[in-house]
């Protein structure tokens, strides 16, 4: 009799544990549908404090934690420039940090100095006229893991089917929502100076290689192999230390030298947003993102190089 009672108790506890895990997964967004659309962005021009990272996206968790430790109430943001499906993990580029201000408001000098003290750089992003966007619940740390595996494939499908030129990938962590955004206009203004610097170095290496081949009388590299450069569309002329904290343009060259390995090649033909049947006129002023957000949960162990696709 006591054995049957013990087995029943174990079975009941096991069932309760399973139900708890299912409820936790549901609360984290396991059954939430992913709706991708194109329209006006949920944010205006923003000023961010960021750190640039080259390497596996799975290593960005520490950058999120660093930015949250400086000011936990600010919204976190990540900008991913390369497609981890095609770019080696050690070459993937991104910028991670916090949103200091939005719209006409300028960040306080004290806040800027605080972030710079911890090695962050200051940069401003404009408000694009149209974006591809999606949202996902942000209720637990598991929500991030689920969002990576569900939202990014949905964005890839939407952009590919409509042959759009939508890049880079932005993630904004706002209270209980993760907002995903891919600009359809002014994409070059979302490339931080470090991205352009890596592209410039890459060009230099290729040109030096071509010159060496020419000197030896061998066939040019372009005749024997295909060289693909990771080039973002445009460059800024001002550095992070001398930039003005506003939404004005910084003299970018909007030439579209995109690489097949970066998010800029998500659409085959690079159609513009003008060809879309945009869904709605965009959010009203009241529906824009609020300035405060709770800090991120643990990210370090949630992203994997293979599955943390951007």
Pick the range with the lowest mean pLDDT from 40-44, 59-63, 180-184, 204-208.
204-208
Q: Looking at the predicted structure, is the pLDDT value of residue 34 above 90?
A: yes
Q: What is the per-residue DSSP string for 79-146?
A: EE-B-TTTS-GGG-EEEEEEEEEETT----HHHHHHHHHTT-EEEEE---S-EEEEEEE-SSHHHHHH
Confidence class for position 52, pLDDT limits 50, 70, 90: very high
Identify the helix (H) or strand (E) that includes residue 52: strand 46-54
Q: Is residue 252 predicted with pLDDT exceeding 80?
A: no
> pLDDT averaged over the chain?
76
How much is the average pLDDT of 168-184?
94
Residue 278 has pLDDT above 50, yes or no: yes
Hey, what are 59's tokens? Answer: 């290593």
- Tokens encoding 45: 């021009």
Separation of alpha carbons 184 and 165, rounded Å: 6
pLDDT at 18 over 90: yes
For 180, the enclosing helix (H) or strand (E) is strand 177-183
The DSSP 8-state label assigned to residue 263 in this structure reads G
Q: Which two tokens stand for residue 90?
A: 């050690």
Contact 126, 66 (CB under 8 A): no
| Other Cβ atoms within 10 Å of 191 Cβ, number | 26
pTM of the model: 0.69
| pLDDT higher at 209 or 190 | 190
- The per-residue pLDDT for 175 is 85
> Which residues lie across from 292 on neighbouring strands?
74
Measure the CA–CA gap between 38 and 278, rounded to whole angstroms. Answer: 5
Tens-place pLDDT, residues 96-135:
999 999 998 899 999 999 999 999 999 999 998 899 999 9
Q: From CA 225, how far away is CA 206, in angstroms rounded?
A: 12
Bridge partners of 80, per DSSP, are 94, 169
Locate 279 and state its tokens. Answer: 């869904």
């Amino acid at each position: 009799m006591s054995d049957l009672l013990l087995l029943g108790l174990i079975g009941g506890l096991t069932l309760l544990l399973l139900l708890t895990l299912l409820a936790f997964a549901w609360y984290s967004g396991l059954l939430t549908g992913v709706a991708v659309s194109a329209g006006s962005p949920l944010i205006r021009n923003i000023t961010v404090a960021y750190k640039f990272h080259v390497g596996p996206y799975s290593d960005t968790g520490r950058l999120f934690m660093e930015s949250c430790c400086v000011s936990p109430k600010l919204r976190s943001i990540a900008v991913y420039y390369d497609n981890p499906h095609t770019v080696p993990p050690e070459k993937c580029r991104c910028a991670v940090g916090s949103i200091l201000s939005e719209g006409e408001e300028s960040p306080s000098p004290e806040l800027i100095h605080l972030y710079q003290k911890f090695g962050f750089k200051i940069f401003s992003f404009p408000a694009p006229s149209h974006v591809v966007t999606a949202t996902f619940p942000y209720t637990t740390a598991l929500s991030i893991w689920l969002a990576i595996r569900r939202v990014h494939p949905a964005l890839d499908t939407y952009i590919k089917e409509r042959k759009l030129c939508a890049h880079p990938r932005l993630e904004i962590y706002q209270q209980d929502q993760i907002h995903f955004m891919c600009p359809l206009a002014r994409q070059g203004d979302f490339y931080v100076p470090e991205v352009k610097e890596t592209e410039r170095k890459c060009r230099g290496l290729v040109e030096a290689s071509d010159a060496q081949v020419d000197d030896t009388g061998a066939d040019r590299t372009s005749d024997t192999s295909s060289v693909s450069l990771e080039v973002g569309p445009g460059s800024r002329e001002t550095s992070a230390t001398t930039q003005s904290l506003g939404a004005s343009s910084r003299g970018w060259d909007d030439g579209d030298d995109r690489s097949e390995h970066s998010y800029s090649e998500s659409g085959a033909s690079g159609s513009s947003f003008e060809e879309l049947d945009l869904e709605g006129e965009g959010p009203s002023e009241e529906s824009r993102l609020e300035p405060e957000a709770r800090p991120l949960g643990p990210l370090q162990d949630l992203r994997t190089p293979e599955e943390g696709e951007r």
